[in-house]
């Protein structure tokens, strides 16, 4: 449960907003999971608990709403404002960018392992761990088999059926967004709408200010609106499953999450270059590990799964 002694501190509120922004950035990077970022910064259990209970927990409802508002406002701001910068970063500095996120992911492994007091390996927990690894690897292989199908296809279609498909895609992607190791953007690629969505997001604020509600802007807003409704629906539904699993089978669930995280390394590993760019990648990798270990160790409810 989210402790009021943490939510009452302005520094904690700022931290939640910034974590939300980091999750937003992760969720628009194919192969990187916003759920993994939540694990890295030590708020994953609270996030699942809040999403699963903020409608029914009347005592703590406003505390839950405040928590979610900080997280999702940070995510939304990052997604809208950084989509163009992210496209630029991956175009010109792909290796250092990916290695930074690899550092975050690898640094989160000891944080996850220590998040529950009783993590002794059993057969059931081992099965959960291996299942998590295999799930992400199978998804990655499926993506590779599909090649670059749909890459660069940014034409928007705002017919009723297309908008319903964007809504459906948002719900599926949201389910992946809150599972560590499974990328929401990756699911959008599999569903064939990633490049359209990224195109609709890129430079959205600047275009809205310069063009106003032009026909093209209305199309972009319709696509993003349908996707957003799907995302909210998917998060609310799937978070209940994760919240239940963390409550009933905490250790096995954490082993599953560990498997998903380790499997995601295979999914996004880009290889290595013994060049100056490889050196930059090494530096960003180390920075990612340091950030992950430092902020992952600062969570306010480190033993939340014991309660």
Question: Domain range for residue 251?
Answer: 4-306
Q: Are 180 and 257 in contact (CB under 8 A)?
A: yes
- List, as own/partner pairs, every contact residues 141-150 make where C-beta atoms lie below 8 angstroms and the sequence separation is at least 24, other chains included: 142/190, 143/186, 143/189, 143/190, 143/267, 146/189, 146/190, 149/192, 150/189, 150/192, 150/194, 150/195
- Dihedral-angle region of residue 116 (phi above 0 means left; psi in -120 to 50 means alpha; beta otherwise): beta
Say what the pTM is: 0.61
> Total structural domains in the chain?
1
Residue-wise pLDDT tens for the chain (307 aa)?
444 444 556 678 888 999 999 888 877 776 667 887 887 788 887 888 888 777 777 778 888 888 889 998 998 888 777 767 776 777 788 888 888 878 877 887 887 787 677 888 899 999 999 998 888 787 667 655 544 433 344 456 667 888 888 888 888 888 766 777 666 776 776 666 777 787 777 767 667 777 777 877 888 888 888 988 998 888 888 777 877 887 888 889 889 888 877 887 887 788 888 999 999 999 999 998 887 777 655 443 344 344 3
């Amino acid at each position: 449960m989210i402790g009021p002694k943490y939510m009452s501190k302005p520094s904690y509120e700022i931290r939640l907003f910034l974590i939300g922004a980091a999750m937003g950035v992760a969720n628009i990077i194919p192969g990187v999971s916003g759920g993994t970022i939540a694990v890295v910064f030590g708020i994953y259990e609270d996030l699942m608990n809040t999403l699963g209970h903020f409608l029914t927990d009347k005592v703590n409802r406003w505390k839950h709403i405040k928590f979610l508002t900080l997280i999702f406002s940070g995510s939304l701001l990052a997604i809208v404002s950084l989509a163009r910068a992210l496209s630029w970063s991956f175009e010109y500095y792909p290796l250092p960018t990916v290695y930074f996120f690899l550092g975050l992911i690898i640094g989160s492994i000891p944080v996850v392992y220590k998040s529950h007091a009783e993590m002794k390996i059993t057969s059931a927990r081992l099965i959960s761990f291996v299942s998590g690894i295999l799930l992400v690897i199978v998804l990655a292989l499926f993506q590779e088999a599909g090649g670059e199908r749909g890459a660069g296809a940014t034409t928007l279609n705002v017919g009723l059926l297309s908008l319903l498909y964007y809504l459906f895609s948002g719900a599926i992607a949201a389910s992946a967004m809150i599972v560590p190791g499974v990328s929401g953007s990756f699911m959008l690629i599999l569903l064939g709408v990633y490049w359209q969505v990224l195109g609709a997001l890129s430079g959205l604020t600047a275009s809205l200010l310069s063009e106003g509600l032009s026909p093209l802007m209305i199309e972009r807003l319709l696509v993003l609106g349908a996707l957003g409704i799907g995302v909210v629906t998917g998060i609310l539904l799937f978070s209940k499953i994760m919240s239940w699993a963390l409550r009933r089978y905490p250790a096995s669930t954490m082993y599953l999450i560990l498997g998903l995280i380790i499997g995601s390394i295979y999914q996004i590993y880009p290889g290595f270059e013994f060049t100056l760019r490889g050196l930059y990648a090494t530096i960003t990798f180390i920075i990612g590990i340091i950030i992950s270990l430092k902020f992952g160790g600062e969570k306010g409810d480190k033993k939340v799964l014991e309660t």
